[in-house]
Amino acid sequence: MKRNLVATLHALAVSTVALIAIMSTAINAAPLKLVIHEESGAEGDALPPVAKYIALKRSLETALGRPVEIALTRDRQRMYDWMEQNLGDVFMTNAADLAAKALTGLGYSFIASGRPDVTVLFIGKGAPVDSLKAFSGSAVSMPRAESMYGQVCASELRDFVGRQYTGRFNTEYSAVVYAIENNLSAVGCIPSIARARDTLAAKGIKVLYEGRPQPAMPVVAGLGLPAADRTAIAKALASYDESPAGEIILKSLGVTGFTEGGEIRLRALNGWLKAK
């Protein structure tokens, strides 16, 4: 009788341990939700399929030991709404102002930032200038006012000429180049990552002034993502420039590498963009 009871208790204990292990595995295997916000619409491109990021997905799954689900959006407001509602675990965006707002206003955590930095280029048919004061009173074509680089163009001008210019806003970077090419504006402003930059020389357009460097493709963590996961993701991202497979991932994201530095500068970004 006693032997049977002992055997029963032993079997129950083993079953309990097994159940706990299964439950623990199930919890640990909960998918990580990765949200990617990209603004290639400013290049005139259609929203890419999620399959474009399959190599990134698999790499992070290996690093984390659990599935990764990717959500893709081009809508700035939707991206920030998802951040505000904590609907993702990790957010990647080439609109650094959104990542900065998540850090300073929502309590998010910094993971990494892409390389190289992005600058805005003031372009035209004249000679290069040492100061944007040279463009006081000019018509300046630039990206949409609410976009990351529209804000950066406006902030660069504000620091030198206040409001003494006429902003002409465009949905696509190529439209800014078109305006300069056809003398619709004296000056244009585009980010250094714009493909339209490659067309400048053939059209007789030059870079007249280069703005200050800004963070590229920041990666931030939503509320509740464990520090161990943040560390694993940061290490995975930072390793991509060390292998051909990693280079493919970097190309899909439009950067050449990632760094775990840059948090202080990112946190300060919106203070500069919103300065009076």
In the chain, what is the straight-line distance between the N-terminal and C-terminal CA atoms, in Å? 85
pTM for the full predicted model: 0.85
Q: C-alpha angle 233/239/242, rounded to 5°?
A: 165
Does domain 30-117+214-273 fall under CATH 3.90.170.10? My reply is no
User: Which comes out higher in pLDDT, residue 46 or 230?
Assistant: 230
Q: What whole-number distance in Å separates Cα of residue 151 and Cα of residue 92? A: 19
pLDDT digits (tens, 9 = 90+) for 170-207: 999 999 999 999 999 999 999 999 999 999 999 999 99
Domain boundaries, given as residue ranges, for the chain:
30-117+214-273, 120-210
Asked whether residue 17 carries a pLDDT value surpassing 70, the answer given is: no
| Three-state secondary-structure class, residue 189 | strand
pLDDT of residue 202: 96
Asked whether residue 74 carries a pLDDT value surpassing 60, the answer given is: yes
Asked whether residue 20 carries a pLDDT value surpassing 50, the answer given is: no
Tokens of 190: 């585009």
Q: State mean pLDDT over 2-10.
A: 51
pLDDT digits (tens, 9 = 90+) for 203-239: 999 999 999 999 999 999 999 999 999 999 999 999 9
Asked whether residue 8 carries a pLDDT value surpassing 80, the answer given is: no
Domains 30-117+214-273 and 120-210 alike in fold: yes
User: Which comes out higher in pLDDT, residue 216 or 18?
Assistant: 216
Q: What whole-number distance in Å separates Cα of residue 241 and Cα of residue 179? A: 37
pLDDT digits (tens, 9 = 90+) for 93-148: 999 999 999 999 999 999 999 999 999 999 999 999 999 999 999 999 999 999 99
| Average model confidence (pLDDT) across the chain | 90
Asked whether residue 4 carries a pLDDT value surpassing 80, the answer given is: no
SS3 labels along 217-263: EEEEECCCCCHHHHHHHHHHHHHHHHCHHHHHHHHHHCCCEEECCCH
**pLDDT category of residue 3 using cuts at 50, 70 and 90:** low
Does domain 120-210 fall under CATH 3.40.190.10? My reply is yes
SS3 labels along 26-84: HHHCCCEEEEEECCHHHHCCCCCCHHHHHHHHHHHHHHHCCCEEEEEECCHHHHHHHHH
pLDDT of residue 255: 96
Q: What whole-number distance in Å separates Cα of residue 259 and Cα of residue 239? A: 9
pLDDT of residue 41: 61
pLDDT of residue 1: 52
pLDDT of residue 18: 43
Asked whether residue 37 carries a pLDDT value surpassing 90, the answer given is: yes
Asked whether residue 45 carries a pLDDT value surpassing 90, the answer given is: no
pLDDT of residue 98: 97
Asked whether residue 27 carries a pLDDT value surpassing 60, the answer given is: no
pLDDT of residue 25: 43
Asked whether residue 29 carries a pLDDT value surpassing 50, the answer given is: yes
Q: State mean pLDDT over 242-246.
A: 96
